[in-house]
Amino acid sequence: MTAAPVQVDDRVPAAERGVLLDARNVTMQFGGLRAVGNVSMQVHAGEIVGLIGPNGAGKTTFFNCLTGLYRPTAGSVTFAGQPLPPRPRKVVYAGMARTFQNIRLFHNMTALENVMVGRYCRTKSNAIDAVFRLPRHRREEREATARSLELLAFVGLEKKADALSRNLPYGDQRRLEIARALATDPQLLLLDEPTAGMNPQETREAEDLIFRIRDLGLAVLVIEHDMRFIFNLCDRVYCLVRGEVLVEGAGDVVQNDPRVIEAYIGRPTAIEEDENHA
């Protein structure tokens, strides 16, 4: 199963495009702990959607439910109109790729080799082809190398293709992980805190990169704690609190919602309220 390309008409508002990801009433229970409860979310083709919430709100757990790392206790996830099997490999084949909150690169491999690992899910060579270096294997190896070099150039790492990933600066490692995800030919890219640990300049570069990814016709779902980054970036934002959707809407609506403000900074005490009214 391969991902079919999505044609996105920029003249059509994102909310009016076809639904790519449709998660309905997703629940994840760990024994007596409900980490995610009845979360529903839609992502349209060519749309950037943000997922915010305080630490422990269930954001990464929800990502894990979408990408097959967890099998949801209840609810359903469909992608491009088809039920999404709760198996990571099949999720990638269907056209969904992700990065992780904690960078997961192959540290003893070069940047190019890391991206090529992502590319192999779209190849058809088998072990016999590889062992005997048959024509199909050689052809796909050349194609994978060329595509991986293109993606390294796209994320700004073309001069570091031969560098071991462990020797790359932190911001470059983040971009390398995105390039590896793009190598799977996704229709939807899920980014888990892509600017964590970055300085302001690196954050601006990450924002520009995500916009360029969207301009390729991909949809993006991103978890982030940097509020300025998320509200500048996203068409819509979901706020998750204690495993449930608190509010969803355009960035300016969510940003100014009193419930979101309370979730992040807490409810004013009686003394503070009296001082505010004094």
Domain parsing of the chain, residue ranges = 1-95+186-278, 105-184
**Integer angstrom CA distances of residue 132 from 119, 129, 138, 142:** 21, 6, 10, 16
Out of 3.30.2350.10, 3.40.50.300, 3.60.15.10, 3.30.1370.60, which CATH number does the structure's domain 1-95+186-278 have?
3.40.50.300
Determine contact, residues 239/248, Cβ cutoff 8 Å.
yes
- Which has more confidence, 58 or 124? 58
* Structure token pair of residue 89: 């490999």
The Cα 182–Cα 194 span in angstroms is 14
**Integer angstrom CA distances of residue 59 from 104, 118, 135, 165:** 18, 24, 45, 27
The Cα 59–Cα 52 span in angstroms is 7
* pLDDT reported for residue 270: 45
Task: Please give the share of the chain, as a percent, with pLDDT higher than 70.
Answer: 87
In this predicted structure, which of 196-200, 234-238, 264-268 has the lowest mean pLDDT? Answer: 264-268
Beta-bridge partners for 191: 222
Kindly state the average pLDDT of the residues 106-118: 96
Amino acid, res. 144: A
Burial string for 216-245 (b: 16+ CB within 10 Å, else e) reads eebbbbbbbebbebbbebbbbbbbbbebbb
Its sign, for the CA torsion 152, 155, 160, 162, is negative
In this predicted structure, which of 5-9, 10-14, 18-22, 126-130 has the lowest mean pLDDT? Answer: 5-9
